């Protein structure tokens, strides 16, 4: 957690809180401890407020790419977000290319082929008829998931969405062709927003918990690279 300060037109960065990001093996899947990460985010905000930064103007979150959480109709997280190094995507690239040519996917998305990409993670769930896909109502990439936990609002920031290999680079929206040919649930994908878009305000209970007011949460470029 880093605080940015404007001083005579110059930006200064103050490191507030560092914490580890562990991968945990759960039921044979390599998962992210998303609740621990959210706890540490809130702890960092609380430390910032205690260190004299209770007048924070806005909050922005960025993370690594491709990984996601699934949210059900009641707004609850379905299972644990699986890490991109998990083996569930083994063989998924070949399965995808049997349904839609590799060249066609690249022409649509312009993204480097890696088996960890969201397209192959989602395909692995669809191929095994994973019940999470039936339960889920919305897919949120990791920064979008934390934005949701902070504000209650669900969006997909453009830069993080582009890591999925599910985005049409020409019209800058989800590729209906890819979703259709791979038989993936297009209904899960939230509206795409541009970096700099205001997502909403810090939820009242969280603001009270961390000692801040109604701070805006604004989407930066959510992909860390």
| Residues taking part in catalysis | 224
Question: Which residues make Cβ contacts (< 8 Å) with residue 76, sequence separation at least 6?
Answer: none
The answer to whether 164 and 189 are in contact (CB under 8 A) is no
Rounded CA separation 110/21 (Å) = 30
Give the H/E segment covering residue 142: helix 142-151
Among residues 220, 152, 203, 221, which one has the least CA distance to residue 45?
Answer: 203
Residue 123 vs residues 67, 72, 117, 119, 160: alpha-carbon distances, Å: 13, 19, 10, 6, 18
Distance between CA 24 and CA 40 in Å, rounded? Answer: 17
Farthest-apart Cα atoms in the chain, separation: 58
What is residue 189's DSSP assignment?
Answer: P
């Amino acid at each position: 957690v880093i605080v940015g300060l404007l001083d005579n037109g110059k930006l200064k960065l103050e490191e507030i809180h560092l914490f580890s990001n562990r991968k945990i093996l759960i039921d044979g899947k390599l998962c992210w401890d998303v609740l621990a990460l959210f706890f540490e985010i809130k702890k960092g905000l609380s430390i910032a407020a205690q260190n004299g930064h209770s007048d924070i103007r806005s909050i922005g979150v960025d993370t690594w790419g491709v990984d996601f959480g699934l949210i059900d109709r009641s707004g609850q997280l379905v299972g644990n977000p699986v890490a991109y190094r998990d083996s569930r995507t083994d063989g998924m690239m070949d399965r995808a290319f049997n349904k839609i040519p590799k060249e066609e996917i690249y022409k649509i998305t312009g993204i480097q082929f890696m088996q960890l990409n969201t397209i192959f993670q989602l395909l692995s769930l669809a191929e095994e008829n994973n019940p999470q896909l039936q339960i889920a109502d919305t897919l949120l990439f990791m920064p979008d998931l934390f934005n949701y936990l902070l504000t209650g609002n669900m969006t997909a920031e453009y830069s993080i969405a582009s890591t999925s290999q599910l985005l049409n680079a020409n019209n800058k929206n989800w590729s209906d062709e890819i979703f259709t040919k791979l038989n993936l649930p297009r209904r899960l994908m939230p509206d795409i927003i541009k970096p700099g878009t205001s997502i909403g305000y810090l939820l009242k209970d969280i603001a009270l918990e961390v000692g801040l007011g109604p701070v805006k949460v604004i989407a930066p470029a959510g992909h860390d690279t």
